[in-house]
A and B are shown apart, each in its own frame.
Chain A
């Protein structure tokens, strides 16, 4: 059936040649519109709008002082994990170096990445960008603001002079976490709740798996991806499934989602391992340790290096066990300790072996 593309609701009343004529004309008009739009759509390419009067690009003046830092995060603060760690880094820089800081949250909304990064670049001469999601956007904006330094965390980009990327050896830290889990478990069954099935998180997973199998080759390891970094309910669901399946320790690598893992551990009387920051303080009775990824520390170091002009432009900085970028956190003395001194000694021994190359930790990218 072809629709009568004509005015009015009286389709059956109008008949005859005139109507057909009008129908054809309307169809033609529609076609013409489509084509003209296509032409506009493609032709506009030659009209780059580079008026700059509206967009305040005055970064040049501030560069000399380097006294402001903008922090752009892909998710939101308050995860007590990855993003909060980055925030701690700039907060520390604010205290120690007396700089001004401002945080720009994108709340996992890809349509805000460019906007927020532009805002931050206009605000500060140093911009810390946290989240692998910014891979394209940060390259594009870094070229637009050549006088702004970008510290880009969690990915690897080389060759842009005002862009320093920081990459972490999550697999090395997770190797220790896996080894610890294998030593602590009584069921010979452990689990992991990942935020999303993606390269960075898979890098945690292979390390964790390898570490656990290093201690006990027959250990059962299961991973569930929550497909979310912001939803504790999904973390709880995943952890509950793992605990019900026999695991007694679950490693959470899921940001805020991980809070649900801790809840599930508490309710089911099982244990969990935290991530990114030393999370033991959240619930010292179920969180036995944390695998720490020192995002904040690395940002802090890089800010100082930029201020002292000690950076290598366009390079990737690696933070592994060797650089103290990843490691284990056991909370404070007054908390109930699950990890015995022998276990710590064993972990130190493993760390030693990783550093001197005796153990090769697999990586997933």
Chain B
């Protein structure tokens, strides 16, 4: 166990835990300032997130898209190519799955589902390939192109669901319902938790294996840390970046696929409330570590479910959780600075003590 974590990792875990603790305390202070009891508030939050089968199911259901987009961010950021276009890839991936689900209705269950999943991953990957290609070939900043492609994807799918694919029944901006055999089954009554959680688990294992246990994963990391160094070390850095980008896009596409196949059973015009952005926060908080992404996704999922339960039970606004999340991110962003300050202070104190001992 000890050999698993380097001292740097341990330090990071400590600062992360501290950041979360401090942000929770700040959340408590805000509650007190508003005349609410933090015990009651956090109690309702925890009960809402983990109190019983139904609550846990809801928490896990919220985890799936976060984990996938979080892993997508992790692999691209680690490889030094910044995929900010997750939202667009998610939308197109989701639409592709819905398209398969309403078009190929004659396919048998397993095959059809596989096709829908592959279609979503492929479309997401391709949509990420474009900015990735522009980046490695023409050095066009991928941050800007991916952000802009988000809008393109969102508005394009919005056109599709309002005109060519508008449903016949119901005033809804969505596609038709995908045919029955494409539905991932729900696991707990009344909750939207579905079998996509198993797919997510597998994908997470695979990503962990790829990023941490293979030489390819090492290449990604090397390219991300210093692409020039990697190139002289014999790694085709451009290719690595492009591959990372495509994997990242596919994962975002998959996040969309599972929203369609497991939750809504059709593509909705605004299917994502910003999953890719939340996933990005998750990945940034844990410094693109795949295990960290999983843990953080569950934490964020719990915060989301819990905050809604808290709001319903105690009428403390669920936005409080956004404040807590933001404070965590603030601390993590300043982590190195804080750590250096602390170390310096600690060193001085020790030096002072030593000096004191000598004098005495």
Query: Which A positions have Cβ atoms within 8 angstroms of B?
Result: 1, 3-9, 11, 30, 33-34, 37-38, 40-42, 44-45, 47-52, 54-55, 102, 104-105, 107-112, 114-116, 118-119, 123, 132-133, 135-136, 141, 144, 154-157, 196-200, 227, 365
Q: Do A132 and B171 form a contact, CB below 8 Å, given A30-B206, A37-B202?
A: yes
Docked-complex contact A6 and B110, CB < 8 angstroms: no
7 cross-chain pairs, A with B, having the tightest CB-CB distances, nearest first: A3-B216, A11-B215, A109-B273, A199-B171, A45-B185, A37-B202, A54-B52
Docked-complex contact B214 and A3, CB < 8 angstroms: yes
Q: Do A52 and B312 form a contact, CB below 8 Å, given A34-B202, A42-B109, A136-B264?
A: no
Docked-complex contact B308 and A112, CB < 8 angstroms: yes
CB distance from A234 to the nearest CB of B (A): 12
Query: Which B positions have Cβ atoms within 8 angstroms of A?
Result: 52-54, 58, 61-62, 65, 109-110, 113-114, 155, 158, 162, 166, 170-173, 177, 184-192, 195-196, 198-199, 201-202, 205-206, 209-210, 213-216, 218, 236, 239, 263-266, 268-273, 305, 308-309, 311-312
Q: Name the residue among A42, A48, A50, A141 with the largest chain B CB count within 10 angstroms.
A: A42
Q: What residues of B have a CB within 8 angstroms of the CB of A114 in the complex?
A: 190-192
The chain B residue sitting closest to A45, CB to CB, is B185
- A–B pairs, 29, beta carbons within 8 Å: A3-B210, A3-B214, A4-B216, A33-B206, A37-B202, A38-B110, A40-B195, A41-B196, A42-B110, A42-B195, A44-B198, A47-B185, A55-B189, A104-B312, A110-B263, A110-B264, A111-B61, A111-B263, A111-B273, A115-B192, A115-B308, A116-B308, A119-B308, A133-B268, A136-B265, A154-B171, A157-B170, A196-B269, A197-B158
CB distance from A275 to the nearest CB of B (A): 17
> A5-B216, A8-B215, A132-B171 provided; 4 other pairs, C-beta below 8 A?
A3-B215, A41-B184, A42-B110, A49-B188
A138–B199 Cα distance when bound, in Å, is: 28
Docked-complex contact A33 and B202, CB < 8 angstroms: yes
Q: Do A108 and B270 form a contact, CB below 8 Å, given A4-B216, A54-B54?
A: yes
A116–B313 Cα distance when bound, in Å, is: 12
**Contact partner of B173 among A5, A30, A104, A196, CB < 8 A?**
A196
CB distance from A48 to the nearest CB of B (A): 7
